[in-house]
Amino acid sequence: MSRVKRGMATKKRHKKILKLAKGFWGQRKNIFRRAVETLRRAMAFAFVGRKLKKRDMRALFISRIKAAAEQRGLKYSTLIHALKINHISLNRKMLSQIAIFDPMAFDHIVSMTK
């Protein structure tokens, strides 16, 4: 039976990891074992960061809608509740975009809720 040499696959795998670790400090960029540890941690933080970004954006949308609603003499919670009652299904991102870029349309939405 012929012998199987695995150097090529290992080298390819190591190069892929080390390429991802480019820019890290010290051994973390050029020692495979350290690079794997650091990358695992970095990928975990990146995953969490993507979830936090969604949370932060939602908070921004809510504060924009709140400011626009208060200019029209309405509270944020009252506006959202009225939208749900009237079956107007606009998400917070779209509502905030409308409030900023098309105030007339936002006025129309507010008038529909009253």
Q: Using one digit for the tens of pLDDT, what is the confidence trace for 58-97?
A: 999 999 999 999 999 999 999 999 999 999 899 999 999 9
Cα 102 from chain centroid (whole Å): 25
23 torsion bin: left (phi>0), alpha (psi -120 to 50), beta (else) = left
- Domain assignment present for residue 78? The answer is yes
Q: Is residue 64 part of a domain?
A: yes
Q: How far apart are CA 79 and CA 114, in angstroms?
A: 9
DSSP 56-106: HHHHHHHHHHHHHHHHTT--HHHHHHHHHHTT----HHHHHHHHHH-HHHH
In a domain, 59, yes or no: yes
* Domains held by the chain: number: 1
Side-chain half-sphere CA neighbours of 31 within 13 A: 8
Q: Does some domain include residue 57? A: yes
Model confidence over 26-41: pLDDT tens digits?
A: 999 999 999 999 999 9
